[in-house]
Amino acid sequence: MPTCRAAAARARLPPTGQSELMRLSNYFLPTLKENPAEAQIVSHRLMLRAGMIRQTSAGIYAWLPLGHRVLKKIEQIVREEMDRAGAIELLMPTLQSADLWRQSGRYDSYGKEMLRIQDRHEREMLYGPTNEEMITDIFRREVKSYRDLPRNLYHIQWKFRDEIRPRFGVMRGREFLMKDAYSFDLDEAAARRSYQKMFISYLRAFSRMGLKAIPMAADTGPIGGDMSHEFIILAETGESEVFCDRTLVDMPAPGDEVDYDADLTPVIEQRTSLYAATDEKHDAAKFEADVPADNRLSARGIEVGHIFFFGTKYSEPLGALVAGPDGKDVPVQMGSYGIGVSRLLGAIIEASHDEDGIIWPESVAPFKVGLINLKSGDADTDAACAKLYATLTKAGVEVLYDDRDERAGAKFSGMDLIGLPWQLVVGPRGLKNGVVELKERATGNREELSTEAAVKKLVG
């Protein structure tokens, strides 16, 4: 009965992602005490120091285990919010054929940012900087009728744009992970609804990551109108100058009760009626006329998402036609919606850190709890830690256990650096009195509790 044996073997494996390997003594977390010279901004420095990434070429990074965990968390939040809004996940390749791009006319117009490659047959290929052509191609082959609309297809895939000057770590890398969604509708009114769904979905996704993202009017290119927004996180190190009504900053995102089938216009107008623009779209006169002086906020921001409607820009040249109710073929109305997944790590750190290190919002933290054994080798302390580790892990709490034979100070500062939301500190002195210490990274608040109370607090 080989199947049974296999099942039994599988049952003995630890649950996904959580095992004894999450002991720091056999994990892979190369932290740095000093700042690498090449890192200029705080998020880049902290990501290097916290052992999250290492640069392999200009603007190209390897994701070390800690960084990889955060990347996956962010990716998952984006995925859940896309799915909730009715988008459908697929996965397109990173390498594309030049032919498609010739059809859309972008092969020549895209310029040197596009990384062009030849295969062994000297066929022209490219490493995709985006996927409008490819998704349109996939769509046009299969969808012929308005009855199959609307559809919104997305993937989360690595992109490459050969930036002239990559900088700021993962905020402006050449290779980056991006979620890009593409909507297909019969007419512009329907396309507007698709756009609105993404708008709401973005507000929710960023909010779940602990970010205050502000939608700002963006350039719509040849189409015009109000159908393009950038989602901006305010940060000193942001690349663009932004202007908006202060009210927008703390406006809460739509909650779980949001109904994507209902009319979303009021929710969106609540935001778009207030002034918000990046420097390219900024109109100083309008800003002063529309926004009371006290509410005028001019700051710097990081673009973490961009949504836009572009109508038939690709469907027409690529021949993505569907039959309407009248039986006549029309090009589909399309929109595309990007989120810079890898860039978000930098953005979150820019928005959430202090002089000691990163402060992860719980939803994207690589682990929820850092368990600190203050005296590895001490039988009682080891036993207490092992028990806490097992209990928490069993309850589904992600724990990174620092069981190394290091001094207390090194463990404290290391944990502060990597920024896990909670530090559970266990030492012989406390155990003698039946207590452990729980420190909240964000506030620095510490409290002494019984192990049971600490577990309850972390599990609850």
Partner RNA sequence: CGGGGCAUAGCGCAGUCUGGUAGCGCACCUGGUUUGGGACCAGGGGGUCGCAAGUUCGAAUCUUGCUGCCCCGACCA
Q: Which residues bind RNA (CB under 7 A)?
A: 31-38, 40, 49, 55, 57-59, 113, 161, 163-168, 171-174, 176, 178, 230, 239-240, 303-306, 338-340, 342-343, 356, 374-375, 406-410, 412-414, 416-417, 425, 427-431, 437, 439, 446
d(CA 8, CA 2): 10
- What is the smallest separation between the CB atom of 204 and RNA, expressed in angstroms? 17
- What is the smallest separation between the CB atom of 58 and RNA, expressed in angstroms? 3
> Is the distance from CB of 204 to CB of 81 less than 8 angstroms?
yes
Neighbouring residues of 70: CB distance < 8 A, sequence distance ≥ 6:
52, 345, 360, 364, 365, 366
Cβ nearer to RNA, comparing 233 with 399: 233
d(CA 457, CA 460): 5
Cβ nearer to RNA, comparing 146 with 337: 337
- What is the smallest separation between the CB atom of 44 and RNA, expressed in angstroms? 8
d(CA 73, CA 17): 12
CB atoms within 10 A of CB 368: 19
Cβ nearer to RNA, comparing 33 with 121: 33
Cβ nearer to RNA, comparing 202 with 287: 202
Cβ nearer to RNA, comparing 401 with 412: 412
Bridge partner list, 55: 61
d(CA 1, CA 205): 46
Cβ nearer to RNA, comparing 271 with 441: 441
Cβ nearer to RNA, comparing 120 with 165: 165
> Is the distance from CB of 337 to CB of 180 less than 8 angstroms?
yes
Cβ nearer to RNA, comparing 140 with 336: 336
Cβ nearer to RNA, comparing 140 with 343: 343
Cβ nearer to RNA, comparing 16 with 109: 109
